[in-house]
Chains A and B, each alone.
Chain A
Amino acid sequence: MAEKKRAGLKELSPINIYKNLPKINCKECGVDNCMAFATKIVNREMELDSCKPLLKPEHAKAYSILKEMLKPAVAEVIIGVGEKAKKIGGKLVMYRHEFTYKNPTAIAIDVTDEMPEKEVVGRVQKTENFSFEYIGNILQLDMVAVRCTSDDADKFKSCVKKVAETTKLPLILCTMNPQIMEAGLMASPKSRPLLYAATTTNWKDMAELAIMYNTPLVASAPNDLNALVSLAKTLQNYGVKDIVLDPGTFTNGGLQDTINNFTMLRRAATKGGDELAGLPLLGIPMVAWMNKGETADDLIKWRESYMASMLTVRYADALILHGNDGWSLLPLAVLRQNIYTDPRKPVAVATGLKVFGTPDENSPVLFTSNFALTYYTVASDIESNQVNAYLIVVETEGSAIDSGVAGRKLTAERVADAIKASGIESKVKHRKIISPGKASRISGEIEELSGWKVLVGPRDSSEIPKYIIDKWQP
């Protein structure tokens, strides 16, 4: 950690930012004054480039000072070009509760230059078409890794060409041979692929290619952090701008070193201000496939998936996988989405009327909070038992039922308003609504305000189906 230290996220104050702004309160950025803008900058709610006057030549010095001050603990690297280009790294903090993680771990699926062309195209299309809708987001995969297994530059070149014709997703070109790498680059020279990899033996040639083709470059030094930072420093001095670190990924008995290396690098970057450790980290769960033949394929996919998940939690900024089955990728894709959400505000779902099954005018009506977890738990309990019902989601500012009642976020007024706004009164003949058991305290008040009869339901939503069978009468 001999490298220069940076101010941590917490030490940055709006005053430091403000001092370097034009201070003309022009409001061009959409904020009332420069001080307010400085606060937004510190909170990472706005980008520095929204300050148009700052981009003028006379402020060039201040701009570069500010850029340096705001540099994230982990550098941001862009792979690919155009709409599908992927930013990786850019992390400000170590722990999720400190600040929302930036740039979700990019997931690449591989192809090789020895696969039949049909298989290559098929795998690339499958990667591109991976899609799963989850709380209003589409979960997707991000990149294609092209590996040279043939040792033949022509084969690699034509494979890269085919892949680049098939997809606009960013590429990772994988070969230790600089000549073969250049052949691959010539097939897609302007696409800014990530080059894998520079090692302690081939680094000069790889650095030349990265500079010549303006691409990011992976520095790889398996399980040797001294060699890894030496390599990164050397590449920087050589003139390579964008570097990604590969400390090695190891299965089974090597998992401990793997997790330790990722954790140490990220801590050195975020807590120690170590700029060499502060580069994006690449995890390669597909090392699990080294056991192909000895181990059943499904078991390898299982292992690859759980290693990818652990590395998603433990600081990988990009991952390369081989297994592309939905069952093994879905848990990983959902986990990544979960880990990269804002830890400060509870995830809320849209309020209003939700319909389960095929309810009719005599079907039960329930209400719940708009806290995503509460809502999805209730929804899952209703769905899994195939109950036909209406559920009114009430605005509670993302509070759960008990804390919502206690904190006056779930109130009788809001429930009454939600009943009116939902249009339920034209859908059912009865006027009875089932309340969560934990909201029983406000049931009397809801009856007064809404004119609906409140039936106090179970405290846990898993009891809803039974409650409806036993107690519901329109």
Chain B
Amino acid sequence: MAANVLPKLKLPAGAIPGGKPTSLFPISFSPPIEKYPNQISTVKLGATKSEGGTRGKSLIIGGELSPAFYTFENQTPHKPVITLDVFDMEVPLSKAVKMHVKDVIGDPAAWAKLAVEKFGADMVTMHLISVDPLLKDASPKEACKTIEKVLQAVDVPLVIGGCGDPVKDTALFEEVCEQFPGERFLISSVTLDMDVDKCGKFIKKSGNAVLAFTPMDLNFARELSRRLYDNLSREDIVMDLTTAALGYGLDYAFTNMERARIGGLMGDLELAHPMSSGTTNAWAAREAWLKMSDEWEPRELRGPLWEVTTALTLLTAGVDLFMMMHPAAVKTLKDVTNYLTANKKADPAKFLEWVKIKA
């Protein structure tokens, strides 16, 4: 039997029927390079002292010349940026997330400090949900006091988030723009059911930037861009096309964003803006937080991996700004972004050893 197992293969030359190659047929692969007529616009977030604000540094997002990370074609001009969520009052959080922030809930300044110093956030999103008429109905002036505290606590650029009520948010953002001109906040967000013209005017006057949020429909996104152009320049606008969680419509979000980015590069200027993703929405998937049967546990790993998978999928669609939640997910996204822009050559030497890994 052993003799049959190890037959000496009669190769090459003589035994091979005529016409078969005896050596490698050399061909070269030409990298398929395309040129796009348009570039994604850039947006600067945060302003330093010399720029009229109080931030330690400012960040630039956007500016792509190719689809996301086609670095064989063009370099990625600005690495995607991560902003971590901070809430100004108690909110329901999943266990896997809560365990990391439980000591700072209710203290936005301490929470922001933790996000920046311990979790490596590039920015902080200050969600001022206490102004929600259905929650505390806090006044815009009170909310601004929280912003002041956070500005003192950290020196990164800020995203200022509202409560989702179109009327209350307009009042909140007007007050924020009045009190903090020149900080170059990203005002999150202006939507089609708000007074877009009014918001555009006070945001422009204050020198802040705007996040244009639309519900997963590129026609709405184009319309909102057009209405914002009445008052704001291209360099003031970031788009949020809606993020759905892995398993709960991520495919739509992904395709919508990929189409917007390719459209923008091809010359659809109303979509040629940097994109933001509310990646925290990954936690809306019950598979991210639910205690499941043993074979799917531990959820402490499954949950943040759900956020990572959502984030990386959208990274490949072209997202420039990630609003995130879990420290481990943040770390992975940062690592991957660094890997994808490092311009290191992968070393082929050891690759085939995977076959013999003793794992």
A13 in the interface (beta carbon within 8 A): no
| CB <8 Å contact, A260 and B5 | no
| CB <8 Å contact, A332 and B309 | yes
A439 in the interface (beta carbon within 8 A): no
| CB <8 Å contact, B72 and A263 | yes
Would you give the shortest CB distance from B204 to chain A, in whole angstroms? 28
Q: Please, could you name 18 A-B residue pairs with CB atoms under 8 Å apart, sorted by A?
A: A96-B255, A132-B296, A148-B355, A186-B4, A229-B28, A230-B26, A252-B339, A254-B346, A259-B316, A264-B29, A268-B31, A268-B32, A277-B29, A286-B359, A292-B357, A306-B312, A334-B247, A373-B244
| CB <8 Å contact, B350 and A290 | yes
Please judge, given known A-B contacts A208-B9, A302-B332, whether A154 and B2 are in contact too, CB under 8 Å: yes
Would you give the shortest CB distance from A224 to chain B, in whole angstroms? 6
Among B9, B30, B295, which residue has its beta carbon within 8 angstroms of that of A1? Answer: B30
A16 in the interface (beta carbon within 8 A): no
Interface centre among A209, A230, A338 (most CB of B within 10 A): A338
| CB <8 Å contact, B352 and A326 | no
Closest to B72 in A: A260
A356 in the interface (beta carbon within 8 A): no
| CB <8 Å contact, B305 and A253 | no
Would you give the shortest CB distance from B162 to chain A, in whole angstroms? 13
| CB <8 Å contact, B25 and A237 | yes
Would you give the shortest CB distance from B305 to chain A, in whole angstroms? 5
| CB <8 Å contact, B305 and A200 | no
| CB <8 Å contact, B6 and A175 | no
A342–B187 Cα distance when bound, in Å, is 35
| CB <8 Å contact, B244 and A223 | no
Please judge, given known A-B contacts A237-B20, A276-B27, whether A339 and B346 are in contact too, CB under 8 Å: no
B358 in the interface (beta carbon within 8 A): yes
B24 in the interface (beta carbon within 8 A): yes
A114 in the interface (beta carbon within 8 A): yes
Q: Which residues of A contact B24 (CB under 8 A)?
A: 200, 203, 230-231, 234
B341 in the interface (beta carbon within 8 A): yes
Instruction: Name B's A-contacting residues (CB within 8 A).
Output: 2, 4-7, 9, 11-12, 20-22, 24-32, 34, 69-72, 134, 164, 215-217, 244, 246-252, 254-255, 258-259, 262, 284-287, 289-290, 295-299, 301-302, 305-306, 308-309, 312-313, 316, 332, 335-336, 339-348, 350-359
| CB <8 Å contact, A225 and B250 | no
Among A229, A332, A380, A460, which residue has its beta carbon within 8 angstroms of that of B285? Answer: A380
Would you give the shortest CB distance from B355 to chain A, in whole angstroms? 5
Q: Which residues of B contact A104 (CB under 8 A)?
A: none
| CB <8 Å contact, B251 and A264 | no
Closest to A340 in B: B251
Residues 285 to 304 of chain A near chain B (Cβ within 8 Å) = 286-287, 289-290, 292, 298, 302
Scan A143-183; emit 1 where CB is below 8 A from any B CB, else 0: 00001110001100100000000000000001110110011
A-B complex: 5 closest residue pairs judged by Cβ atoms: A254-B346, A222-B348, A373-B249, A257-B346, A222-B351
| CB <8 Å contact, B353 and A339 | no
Q: Which residues of B contact A259 (CB under 8 A)?
A: 69, 316, 340
A330–B254 Cα distance when bound, in Å, is 19
Closest to A323 in B: B359
Closest to A327 in B: B302
Among B305, B336, B356, which residue has its beta carbon within 8 angstroms of that of A327? Answer: B305
Given contacts A309-B313, A335-B309, A373-B249, 15 further A-B contacts (CB under 8 A): A2-B27, A95-B262, A147-B356, A174-B355, A182-B9, A222-B346, A234-B25, A238-B20, A248-B346, A264-B72, A286-B357, A330-B296, A338-B247, A339-B313, A460-B164
| CB <8 Å contact, B71 and A256 | yes
Closest to A179 in B: B6
A330–B305 Cα distance when bound, in Å, is 10
| CB <8 Å contact, B9 and A223 | no
A351–B28 Cα distance when bound, in Å, is 55
| CB <8 Å contact, A284 and B354 | yes
Q: Which residues of A contact B306 (CB under 8 A)?
A: 331
| CB <8 Å contact, A310 and B312 | yes
| CB <8 Å contact, A403 and B346 | no
Please judge, given known A-B contacts A260-B71, A373-B244, whether A223 and B345 are in contact too, CB under 8 Å: yes
Among A263, A339, A403, which residue has its beta carbon within 8 angstroms of that of B251? Answer: A339
Closest to A252 in B: B339
| CB <8 Å contact, B28 and A226 | yes
Q: Which residues of A contact B313 (CB under 8 A)?
A: 309-310, 313, 335, 339
Closest to A459 in B: B164
Interface residues on A, range: 35 or more
A334–B2 Cα distance when bound, in Å, is 45
Q: Which residues of A contact B344 (CB under 8 A)?
A: 253-254, 256-257
A272–B31 Cα distance when bound, in Å, is 10
A149–B345 Cα distance when bound, in Å, is 28
Please judge, given known A-B contacts A306-B305, A460-B164, whether A199 and B347 are in contact too, CB under 8 Å: no
| CB <8 Å contact, B284 and A290 | no
| CB <8 Å contact, B25 and A186 | no
Among A182, A209, A298, which residue has its beta carbon within 8 angstroms of that of B301? Answer: A298
Please judge, given known A-B contacts A2-B27, A253-B346, whether A114 and B250 are in contact too, CB under 8 Å: no
A15–B313 Cα distance when bound, in Å, is 38
| CB <8 Å contact, B247 and A339 | no
Interface centre among B70, B217, B309, B316 (most CB of A within 10 A): B309
A209–B7 Cα distance when bound, in Å, is 12
| CB <8 Å contact, B299 and A327 | yes
Scan A326-355; emit 1 where CB is below 8 A from any B CB, else 0: 111011101100110101001000000000
A154–B70 Cα distance when bound, in Å, is 45
Please judge, given known A-B contacts A179-B9, A306-B305, A327-B302, whether A264 and B32 are in contact too, CB under 8 Å: yes
Please judge, given known A-B contacts A256-B341, A402-B215, A460-B164, whether A377 and B284 are in contact too, CB under 8 Å: yes
Closest to B248 in A: A376
A402–B192 Cα distance when bound, in Å, is 13
A220–B348 Cα distance when bound, in Å, is 11
A430 in the interface (beta carbon within 8 A): no
| CB <8 Å contact, A289 and B302 | no
Please judge, given known A-B contacts A234-B25, A289-B357, A310-B312, whether A328 and B342 are in contact too, CB under 8 Å: no
Scan A195-233; emit 1 where CB is below 8 A from any B CB, else 0: 011011001110011000000000010111110111101
Q: Which residues of A contact B7 (CB under 8 A)?
A: 179, 182
| CB <8 Å contact, B255 and A97 | yes
Please judge, given known A-B contacts A223-B346, A327-B297, whether A253 and B339 are in contact too, CB under 8 Å: yes
A179–B336 Cα distance when bound, in Å, is 39
| CB <8 Å contact, A229 and B301 | no
Closest to A284 in B: B354
A267 in the interface (beta carbon within 8 A): yes
Among A186, A233, A380, which residue has its beta carbon within 8 angstroms of that of B248? Answer: A380
Q: Which residues of A contact B247 (CB under 8 A)?
A: 134, 334, 338, 376
A271 in the interface (beta carbon within 8 A): yes
| CB <8 Å contact, B341 and A331 | no
Please judge, given known A-B contacts A225-B29, A226-B27, A460-B164, whether A157 and B301 are in contact too, CB under 8 Å: no
A183–B1 Cα distance when bound, in Å, is 11
| CB <8 Å contact, A327 and B32 | no
Q: Which residues of A contact B72 (CB under 8 A)?
A: 260, 263-264
